[in-house]
Amino acid sequence: MATLFILDVLLVLVFALALAAVLRPASLTAFGLAAFILAWANLVLSAEVLSLLRAITPLAFLIIHAVGAAIALIVWRSAGRPRPAGIAWPSRAAVAKSIKAYPELWLLAAAVALVYALHAVLNIIVPPNEFDSLTYHLSRIAYWIQFHTLSPWPTPNLRQTAFPLNGEIGSLWSMIFLRLDLLAGFVQWFSALAAMVSVFGTARLFGRSRTQSAFASLLFATLPMILLQSTTTQNDLIVAAMFMAMMYFFLGGLRGNRPRMMILSGLALGLAVGVKTTAVMALPGFIVGAAVILLFRRPIPFARIFLWAGACLAGFLLLGAFNFIQNWAHYGHPLGPRDFIRAQSSVLSGFQGESIRAKLASDIYSLADPTGLPGPIAQAVTQARNRGGALLFRALGVPLDIPHLTYAEHRFELAESPPPRIFEGTAFFGPLGFLVWLPAMAFWFIAGVVKRDDRFLPAVTSLGFMLAMSVFVIWSPFRGRYMCLAMASAAPLIAGLLRRGRVVAAIRWLVVALACTVMAVTVASNSKKPMVGPRSIWGRSRIDLRMMPLFSAVHNMTRMLPEGAVVGTVLDSEDLDYPLFGERLTRRIIPLFPRPEVIDGRWLSRIPYRHFVVNWKLGDIPPNEYYIRRVWRLTFILRIRP
């Protein structure tokens, strides 16, 4: 199967590269991002078509991708075999001159390259072990492979069926061939690289030099949440990469004679909406920003705007609407069952002025993030931000604890001192997010209008996204990862830090030193992938690392389920079901839903399975017929008599 996967990768690359060349992008940056978007479009469209045929299998993927590659090659030959712009390699003298002029840039580049190479290794060594992945990101993929379709199935965990699915389709691609999640984390890793390319390209469109644009791109890659997300199977970097590509192609389409870039922008937006609905929350700010910068132009390019709007509609219908339509057909609403929607949002409380102010204050407080700072410094920063946070809430006239703004189990509190453990769930963006990103957003929000500068667009997009979060999304300690999109959108605004002048150079050295320190501490202290200490990842098996540390007992019990077994489950929405499939996805898991009133011997005798994993009310079960073991929240029930 590994050989077939390599062949399929080549077919998808042929499709993407050939069609990207046909679009004749103006630069190598545009060509690379076009290939990225077209490859994703190929994966998503293929999965949608095969789902309708109930044919999500390795062979079906191979066939449909072979057909796509053949069509792309025919189109490429008909277009005159266009080639992308070549790489202009700098001379040794130019490199030496650049190192001498900006040694801090090269130091930052070396540090980022080293850390992301290490994260590539971690993606192979350490399997996905975050809670969301084990309960729905990877679980839904395993069910898709089992049922050969993306269609909903009866489940108590509606995140598996109701949420947008484009991000998980990227992981499905490797898992369906390999029957293993060995490469699943690379979807976010490559998305981080694609977001960096978009940041570089967007900064170039704003008139920044290559070195300035590279500086902004590299600095973005050092933010703790970006680092931590690059080794997970979540989807926040994916949506950030798609949205940044959309913005890059939109700005590129407005400049010069490149209307085809508007088509790629629309496809990227459709993909982003199909990854996560946070893309929709970024749209109001983007539309406002786009309207303002269009007013800067005379005459307004209405033809290109209409082309972009049409491309966005087509991109959404082809690449973003699939699961919304499925939800409508299955649940009667595009977002899923109405009770599920109410549980996921805070719209009813969000429009109250006190609610908005409180959540906005909590987000500003959270952005003053000590993640990545050495222990004593992090403790001092935490104490300082606690004092500042209390003043901020008092100034806005909102109490620290507002129950209706939070889930019952997640109440907003001032941070502990010393700070809590570092992992992708609760981290934010380190000190640079507060000291560099927020001031840049605020400055270009004002200066963009005053100077009639296109940089108003990313500034208002980022700030508008944060405001939309304060209105629509209920507060939880895990909301930092949603803001990957806002930080990526604002990253091109940082390029101006790379300017000549002693004062600016001194500030830049401090920023680079801080960024490198934050990277080192974040990577070394990641509690999900510890590099040092008694719980370090070295020398452990993939299975042990997946279930470390909380769910090791669950892992030990899953070993009692034979490979190839059919397992009935009666679970809750927060239960881990992905490990039940086995490391090679050899077990067939059947959710028994709706759940019975009680699980007893009589109910079990009517179910034709020998193995059950349940989290439900137990009645009288004959001990001589079933082996019962309670582990964590789960109960394993194994039939010992036929």
**What span, in angstroms and rounded, lies between the C-alpha atoms of 595 and 416?**
40
Residue that wins the pLDDT comparison between 244 and 560: 244
Which three-class secondary structure state does DSSP give residue 447?
helix
Q: Which residue has the tokens 């929405």?
A: 573
Mean pLDDT, residues 70-97: 85
- Model pLDDT for residues 228-247, shown as the tens digit of each residue: 999 999 999 999 999 999 99
Are 494 and 216 spatial neighbours (Cβ–Cβ below 8 Å)? yes
What confidence category does residue 348 fall into, taking pLDDT thresholds of 50, 70 and 90? Answer: very low
The answer to whether residue 157 scores a pLDDT higher than 90 is yes
Q: Residue 422 half-sphere exposure, CB side, CA atoms within 13 Å?
A: 30
| Neighbouring-strand partners of residue 635 | 614, 630
Mean pLDDT, residues 70-75: 97
Residues contacting residue 290 through CB under 8 Å, at least 6 positions apart: 250, 457
Mean pLDDT is lowest, of 75-79, 354-358, 364-368, for 354-358
- Write 110-118 long-range contacts (CB < 8 A, 24+): 111/222, 111/515, 111/516, 111/519, 112/218, 112/221, 112/222, 112/519, 115/227, 115/519, 115/523, 116/189, 116/192, 116/193, 116/221, 116/230, 118/523
Q: Read off the DSSP letter of residue 617.
A: -
Are 19 and 122 spatial neighbours (Cβ–Cβ below 8 Å)? no
**What span, in angstroms and rounded, lies between the C-alpha atoms of 222 and 228?**
10
Q: Which residue has the tokens 């994260």?
A: 119
**What span, in angstroms and rounded, lies between the C-alpha atoms of 6 and 75?**
24
**What span, in angstroms and rounded, lies between the C-alpha atoms of 175 and 560?**
24
Question: pLDDT at position 230, please?
Answer: 96
Q: Read off the DSSP letter of residue 496.
A: G
- Model pLDDT for residues 472-525, shown as the tens digit of each residue: 887 788 889 999 999 999 999 999 888 877 888 899 999 999 999 999 999 998
**What span, in angstroms and rounded, lies between the C-alpha atoms of 580 and 272?**
31
- Model pLDDT for residues 425-441, shown as the tens digit of each residue: 889 999 999 999 999 99
What confidence category does residue 347 fall into, taking pLDDT thresholds of 50, 70 and 90? Answer: very low
**What span, in angstroms and rounded, lies between the C-alpha atoms of 255 and 258?**
7
**What span, in angstroms and rounded, lies between the C-alpha atoms of 266 and 314?**
7
The answer to whether residue 406 scores a pLDDT higher than 60 is no
**What span, in angstroms and rounded, lies between the C-alpha atoms of 65 and 69?**
6
Question: pLDDT at position 538, please?
Answer: 86
Mean pLDDT, residues 336-352: 64
Question: pLDDT at position 344, please?
Answer: 67
The answer to whether residue 86 scores a pLDDT higher than 80 is no
Residue that wins the pLDDT comparison between 457 and 639: 457
Q: Which pair of tokens denotes residue 18?
A: 């050939």
Mean pLDDT is lowest, of 107-116, 213-222, 344-353, 406-415, for 344-353
Question: pLDDT at position 555, please?
Answer: 73
**What span, in angstroms and rounded, lies between the C-alpha atoms of 618 and 635?**
9
Please report, for the chain, how many H helices and E strands are present, in that order. 29, 5
Question: pLDDT at position 26, please?
Answer: 84
Mean pLDDT, residues 406-416: 67
Residue 117: how many other CB atoms lie within 10 Å:
10
Q: What burial letters (b/e) apply to 454-480, b meaning 16+ CB within 10 Å?
A: bbbbbbbbbbbbbbbbbbbbbbbbebb
Q: Which of 186, 240, 256, 188 is nearest to 5 (CA)?
A: 186
Q: Which of 355-364, 603-612, 633-642 has the highest mean pLDDT?
A: 603-612
Mean pLDDT, residues 181-196: 97
Please, is 623 exposed, middle or buried when counting C-beta atoms within 10 Å of its C-beta (0-12, 13-18, 19+)?
A: exposed
Q: Which residue has the tokens 């929607």?
A: 341
Question: pLDDT at position 533, please?
Answer: 78
- Model pLDDT for residues 457-477, shown as the tens digit of each residue: 999 999 999 999 888 887 788
What confidence category does residue 412 fall into, taking pLDDT thresholds of 50, 70 and 90? Answer: confident
Question: pLDDT at position 350, please?
Answer: 45
At residue 613, φ and ψ (nearest 5 deg) are -130, 120
- Model pLDDT for residues 267-290, shown as the tens digit of each residue: 999 999 999 999 999 999 999 999
User: For the whole model, what pTM was predicted?
Assistant: 0.95
Strands 634-639, 611-614: parallel, antiparallel or unpaired by DSSP?
Answer: antiparallel
Question: pLDDT at position 87, please?
Answer: 67
Mean pLDDT, residues 100-107: 90
Distances (CA, A) of 177 to 8, 9, 126, 247: 9, 11, 20, 33
Q: Read off the DSSP letter of residue 398.
A: -
